[in-house]
Structure 1
Amino acid sequence: MVRSLAWGVMIFFGFQSAMFYFFLTWLAAIHTYHGFSAVTAGLGVGIYQATGIAAMLLISRILQKARDHRLVVGVTGAGMAVGSLGMVLLPELMLLWAVVSGFFSASSLLLALTMISLRAEGPQQAGELSGMAQGVGYIIGGTAPLAAGYLFQVSGTWTVPLVLSLGVIAVYTAMGMWTGRDVGLFGEGVSR
C-alpha cells in the first residue's frame, strides 16, 4: 500500500503539473492560432493565472472540511476536460476556456499539495512523499510543453495536443480518485 499510494500521488502531481505548464506555455499561442490578437492572447494567459487565485481560496475551504477528496478530484478533472474540449470545439470562447482551465488547474495543484500532506503519516513521511511527488512530478510537468510544441509542429494544429491532453486529464483524474480516498500511506484513515 505504501509504495503504490505514493506512486499514485506522484503521478497525480506530475500529470496535473503537465496540464498547468502546457497551458501556461502555450495558451497565448493557442489564442493567436485561433485568430485572436496578441493583446487578447496575453489577456487570456493573465485570466488563466488570476482565476487560479480565486480557485485556491475556494477549494482550500472545501479541502479542509472533507476527509475524502474524490468528489473534488472528479469535479476538477471534468472542469479541465471541459476547458480543453472547449478550446477545440468552441475556440471563439477562448477567454471563457481560460477562466475554466485556470480555475480547475489551480484547484488540481492545491489538491495535489493537499494529498501529499494528508496521505503522509508524520513529518518525515510528508517530506519523503513531497520529495518524490514534486521531484518526479515537476519533471513530468516540464516535459508537457515540449511534447505539446512538438505535436503542434508536426501536426500544424493545436487540436492534436488539446485532444491528447484529455488523456493526461483522464490519467490524473483516475490517480486522484484512487489517492483521494480517506486513507494514509499505511492504509489507515487520515487523521486531523
Structure 2
Amino acid sequence: TIFRKLAQQRLDQQLILLLNQVVLHMASQRLADARKTMARIREAGQVFYHFPEFRITRLIDLLLQAEYGHMDFVESEIKSIRRNSTIEIDSVERQIFQFVRLYPLPHSKRERNRLWVRIQERIKRISQAEYERPLLKFFDFAAWIESRLTDSDFIMISARNAGMHIGQEDQSCSF
C-alpha cells in the first residue's frame, strides 16, 4: 500500500497522507490510532514545519490532546503557535484555542448545549468565510466542535457542511 512506501514519497505528500490518516481515524472515533499517527508526524518535527498543512496538523493535534486531557500541552502549544505565527492568527485558530480551553467538557448535555448555542453563530460564520476555506479543506473544525458539544455524529455534520459549501459555490459560479 501507499503507507508502506511512505518514506519514498516527497515530504509534503508524506505529511498530507499522514494528516488524512489522522482525519480518518478521528472521523471513525478511533482517537488512539489518530494519536499514534499524529505522534509519527511530531517525531519528524521540523522536517514538516515549512509546509502549510503543518498548521492544520498542529490544530488537529490540539484537539486530540484536549480530548485526552493533556491541558498543559494544549496551553504550551497555543503559546507556541502564537509565537511562531508569521501571519495574524485567523478566526479558525482563535476559535479552536477557545474551544480546547473549555476542556474538560461538561458531562451534562444541557451545559454542552448551552456552550453550543453560545458559540454556534461564530462557528457558522467561520465555516462560511471564504478566507477560512483553505484551512477547512483537510478537516472540518466546525463539525468537530459541533459534534463534541451536541453529541452528534461528526461524519454526518461534515457531510451536511460540505453540502452547504458546495451549494454556495454552485450559486456563485452560475453564468
Which structure has more relative contact order (CA 8 Å, sep 6+)? It is 1
- Structure showing the higher helix proportion among its residues: 1
What is the TM-score when the length of structure 2 is the normalising length?
0.30
What is the TM-score when the length of structure 1 is the normalising length?
0.28
